[in-house]
Structure 1
């Protein structure tokens, strides 16, 4: 079985060695989740899929920044006013996110949620925004203005109008939590894919590794690589679906939170490693940092490896990525 990342999965049910694979696609956290579970029978597999959906929903109602009743929405509505007490789970996720901001010097920043949406990637933009407009768009962005109080488990946003949002990092966190939960319950194999943030464990019922297909960023209907994955995570960040071109230069929908300008130079970054949350943080950060700084950062974390594709079609891999053959578009 091949799984496309990101993109549609091949829906299949198979029975081998008294194991069945069941898959369901649902909308959670405002995104598409594809959940695959290998179990002894179809009824059990479907019940465990329900359990996964319940866990993602629980997390969504903790960290969503667009549901008004969540703790993160309460943090945002009290920006510049007062600290808000949150569950330890939410506090720890925020703490890890800020650590990512620190190690990437702001290339990753959960306060991007306050950014003015001055860039349009729906075909309506005819010219670059003015430098003044770009500068103003990130006035409320800045992870150093997020104050965490570990004693009282509170989050305080110093600037009125500031917002935080976990975005795909939250989807990666949810995928990791669901994998942990299923392993504890004795489920030996499955995949939880939150909008391209994929957490895998075990093998297919036929004993083979999961095959993860990576999309060619210049031909979205084609794969440029299929990578076997037994247990671990893989995430992809890319500009190939949403971008604008001005004066022959390609500008991604991924915005540098420090500058307010779209990133250039890389069309996609795929990161492999043990954790989906961390892999997502790296894939987003590497898009912003670019090839050289991104590779230098990832070298400090040998459990994680990457494939980068530049805007001019070069395929670059980190030194620790183990592949059976050299990749080329």
Structure 2
């Protein structure tokens, strides 16, 4: 998903990014949706962090709160410094180094994120797992180059992977690893967590209506835009970024998409997504999964898990969790094209385009 130059409410494919005439740095006025529109002007603020781009969109009538929006984006820099596995000074790197040798007390927000990650791991029967850093190292996902490890290397990485080897102590707000070599990596949930924290900060500063996105794959909306109820987000066909498959209206909700890479789908190559249960590339039936739920962190984590779980188990999960909606894109059994399957998203919030 990416920002469209034609509709400031919509998220479209990454190809359209290159067509944007102006980059949005310290805060820039974006034009209305269409020529002659009397409303719909927005301010946008951008921050590069977590190897991606974060943006917050606020209404022009809230221009006096622009410092609040910028301060909210500052929070992302602090979160990256805490959560990244690419800086030895981060709290997560310190945890990975020390949590087998001794119990490690962690910051409250980090402990909350670990608790959410454990809950998602349990709910998805291991299809979502942040304790997979050894597997990411084995496959060259961490720092590269990408490689195919031997069966013995995969088995060795699996021995020290998995949330079952992470012990959380709520009373001490501490973490302990049950085996040496275990490692945490929040790559599949960190952007969503950052969006949730930024939203908390800017709302505390007085902003009530805004749209946040991180990496054009996770979106969080609060309140409404001035010209309609909620904020409209467009989901695209992962095999053709120029073709939207649905529009979803968000208000006080988040949306996150996980998908196979376009080159993987077009070439029929091995998936770039690892199944944390097997340590091997995913062999699933889904091209992309978009999840709608109140929390951006939960939406991002579940979109990753559902891609691994497959359609049937995903639909079962949504039946048990009414606050979770899903929109899945897969190859059509009847044609060479794609089809969309959705559940848990109210009709008034969804416009199917397939």
**Fold agreement, TM-score > 0.5:** yes
Q: Which aligned pairs between 1:267-282 and structure 2 lie closer than 5 A?
A: 267-282=287-302
The match for 2:271 among 242, 252, 266 is: 252
- What displacement does 1:250 show? 5.1
CA distance in 2, matches of 1:54, 1:60: 10
Task: Give SS of 1:178's match.
Answer: helix
Q: Which aligned pairs between 1:68-83 and structure 2 lie closer than 5 A?
A: 68-83=88-103
Q: Is the aligned partner of 1:209 residue 2:234? A: no
Range 99-108 or range 64-73, more displaced: 64-73
Match of 2:244 in 1: 223
- What displacement does 1:221 show? 2.8
Provide the aligned C-alpha RMSD in A. 2.9
Do the aligned partners of residues 214 and 325 (structure 1) sit closer, same or farther apart at CA in structure 2, a change above 3 Å counting?
Answer: closer
> Which structure 2 segments of 5+ residues have no match?
1-7, 333-337
- Asked if the contact 2:261/2:272 (under 8 Å) is kept, the reply is no
CA distance in 1, matches of 2:286, 2:300: 16
Task: Give SS of 2:280's match.
Answer: coil
- What displacement does 1:142 show? 1.1
The match for 1:64 among 76, 84, 103 is: 84
Q: Residues 3-50 of structure 1, C-alpha deviation per residue, up to 9 Å, x if partnerless? A: 2256467776258989852112321122221221225354x3431221
Match of 2:335 in 1: none
Task: Give SS of 2:131's match.
Answer: helix
Match of 1:163 in 2: 183
CA distance in 2, matches of 1:48, 1:112: 36
- Provide the TM-score with structure 1 as the length reference: 0.86
Matched residue pairs, number?
A: 322
Match of 1:13 in 2: 30
Task: Give SS of 1:182's match.
Answer: helix
The match for 1:183 among 203, 222, 235 is: 203
Q: Residues 273-300 of structure 1, C-alpha deviation per residue, up to 9 Å, x if partnerless? A: 2111111121111001101111111211
- Asked if the contact 1:100/1:108 (under 8 Å) is kept, the reply is yes
Q: Is the aligned partner of 1:3 residue 2:10? A: yes
Match of 2:114 in 1: 94
CA distance in 2, matches of 1:97, 1:69: 22
- What displacement does 1:158 show? 2.4
Do the aligned partners of residues 32 and 6 (structure 1) sit closer, same or farther apart at CA in structure 2, a change above 3 Å counting?
Answer: farther
Match of 1:85 in 2: 105
CA distance in 2, matches of 1:180, 1:32: 19
CA distance in 1, matches of 2:350, 2:100: 53
Do the aligned partners of residues 241 and 26 (structure 1) sit closer, same or farther apart at CA in structure 2, a change above 3 Å counting?
Answer: farther
Q: Residues 209-252 of structure 1, C-alpha deviation per residue, up to 9 Å, x if partnerless? A: 3220111111023322222223311000000336378xx96532
Task: Give SS of 2:274's match.
Answer: coil
Q: Is the aligned partner of 1:240 residue 2:261? A: yes
CA distance in 1, matches of 2:224, 2:325: 21
